[in-house]
Each structure stands twice: as C-alpha cells, then as structure tokens.
C-alpha cells in the first residue's frame, strides 16, 4: 500500500551531487517511483493486484457512498505553489526563482505528456464509469511531481518540507479514490510518474540551459507553453 511511512522513507534518500551536473540523483532514487509505475501497469490485468483495486473501491464506497470533495483539484498544485510562495517570502531554495520555474515547467511537460499518452493508449474505465481515461491518475501525478519539486528545492533546509509536500500528495491521491474517480493502481502509477518526471527535469535542465544560453549576438527566449491540455517548451532565437 502507498503510505506516508513508505514515502517518508523515500524522502530520506540522499541525492548525489555530480561534478558535471549538480542535479544528478542516484540511480537508486528512481527505483521506488519506477516500482510504483510497474505496479500500476501489472494491475491492469486480471491478477491479485487488480483484485485489490476492486476490493479497495468496494470498501471505500461501502463506508462512504456519498463522499464528494473537490479539494483535490487544488491540492495537486499546493506543493509547487509552496516553492514560489517561499521564494517570494525570502526563503530561498536550491535554485533561483527563474530556474525553479523552468524546472517545474519541464517536469509538468514530461508528466503531462506521459499521462495523456497512457490515458489515451490504455483506455481504462473509471470506477464510476464516467470515462475511459482512468489510468493513470493525472491529479496524483501532478501532486507527486509538485511534492518532489518541493523536496528538491528545500530538502537542504529542513526535511519537514519534504514530509509536508508528500503528505499533500498522498491526500490528493486518496481523495481521487474516495471520489470514485480512480482505482488504487491508477493512483500508485500516477505517483511514480510524477516523481520520475521531476527527477528527469532536474537532470535535463542544466543541459538545456547550456544549450539555449544566449550569446552576445543572439536573443534567445525559452518559455513554457500550454496547448490542448499539454505542457511544453517554446524556443525562439534571433541572431
């Protein structure tokens, strides 16, 4: 089960500081989120994991048949919002506000593209039968990407930032199940995608920053974009 205890243990894993790329994490730090995603994929077929999906949904609906709360529409962004609020309040994280914004944009683009591709390709029916786009949970992926973003920016100041971000992310995923919008495996897979997306963004951003670094004779602009529910990056240059 996806619990605060297991993710608290994950938060305590140390990321290595590479000589070339200071954002480079240990390969081991990808194991847990990759396991989350693998679990979700395995549960798509008839097996004990899929049975756990149905049993979890039945138990939640039996205990809370009329539960309806939409705070998850907002809590998914809360950890990322905290990064910018802390910065503007004078509590600086690992990166400047500009670099942090670009890193988060890259993370969101990776996460959004992955979630959209899987939703349209797998075509899984939601628990409430409202649509065939249940796998994976986009809200959960967004929340965990944001929680990992908060962790990376502020883990050196205090571990409580890590725990706070992941607590909100877990609550978001839990609410998706209580609202009967996702199966348990949808939420677990979404958590894995979110964490991996942010870790990858910290890996690629330094290289992108060097690649798009403007010269004295050029005017280069790199901006995040949003179109048809997908995030990306727009690049333009004048020489």
The DSSP call for residue 30 is: G
Inter-residue contact 133 to 186 (CB < 8 Å): no
| Measured CA distances, 2 to 20, 35, 189 (Å) | 34, 11, 10
Whether pLDDT at 15 is above 80: no
Q: Is the dihedral of CA 56, 58, 59, 60 positive or negative?
A: positive
Q: What 3-state class would DSSP assign to 157? A: coil
H/E stretch holding 117: helix 97-122
Express each pLDDT in 65-120 by its tens digit.
Answer: 888 889 999 999 999 999 999 999 999 999 999 999 999 999 999 999 999 999 99
Chain mean pLDDT for the chain = 86
Least Cα distance to 25 among 88, 86, 92, 94 occurs for 94
Is residue 95 classed as helix, strand or coil in its secondary structure?
Answer: coil
Residue 14 pLDDT? 39
pLDDT of the residue at 69: 87
Distance CA 145, CA 179 (A): 21
Residue 165 has pLDDT above 50, yes or no: yes
**Could you tell me the two tokens for 3?**
């619990």
pLDDT of residue 40: 98
Q: Options 1.10.10, 3.30.460, 3.40.50, 1.20.144; which CATH number does 28-238 get? A: 1.20.144
| CA-derived radius of gyration, the chain | 19
pLDDT at residue 237 above 70?
Answer: no
Give the residue with greater pLDDT, 11 vs 115: 115
Percent of the chain topping pLDDT 90: 70
Q: At how many degrees (to 10) do helices 159-178 and 4-11 cross?
A: 150
Ranking 14-23, 67-76, 99-108, 143-152 by mean pLDDT, the lowest is 14-23
């Amino acid at each position: 089960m996806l619990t605060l205890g297991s993710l608290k243990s994950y938060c305590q894993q140390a990321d290595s500081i590479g000589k070339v790329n200071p954002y480079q994490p240990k390969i081991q730090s990808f194991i847990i989120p990759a396991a989350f995603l693998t679990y979700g994929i395995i549960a798509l077929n008839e097996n004990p994991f899929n049975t756990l999906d149905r049993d979890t949904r039945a138990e939640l609906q039996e205990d809370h048949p009329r539960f309806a709360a939409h705070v998850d529409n907002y809590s998914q962004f809360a950890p990322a919002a905290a990064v910018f609020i802390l910065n503007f309040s004078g509590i600086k994280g690992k990166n400047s506000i500009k670099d942090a914004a670009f890193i988060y944009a890259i993370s969101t683009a990776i996460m959004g593209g992955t979630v959209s591709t899987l939703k349209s390709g797998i075509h899984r029916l939601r628990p409430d039968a409202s649509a065939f786009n249940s796998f994976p949970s986009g809200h959960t992926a967004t929340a965990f990407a944001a929680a990992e973003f908060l962790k990376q920016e502020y883990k050196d100041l205090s571990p409580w930032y890590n725990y706070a971000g992941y607590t909100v992310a877990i609550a978001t995923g839990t609410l998706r199940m209580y609202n009967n919008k996702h199966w348990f495996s949808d939420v677990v897979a979404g958590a894995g995608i979110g964490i991996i997306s942010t870790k990858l963004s910290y890996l690629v951003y330094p290289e992108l920053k060097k690649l798009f670094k403007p010269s004295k004779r050029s005017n280069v602009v790199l901006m995040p974009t949003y179109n048809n529910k997908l995030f990306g990056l727009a690049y333009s240059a004048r020489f």
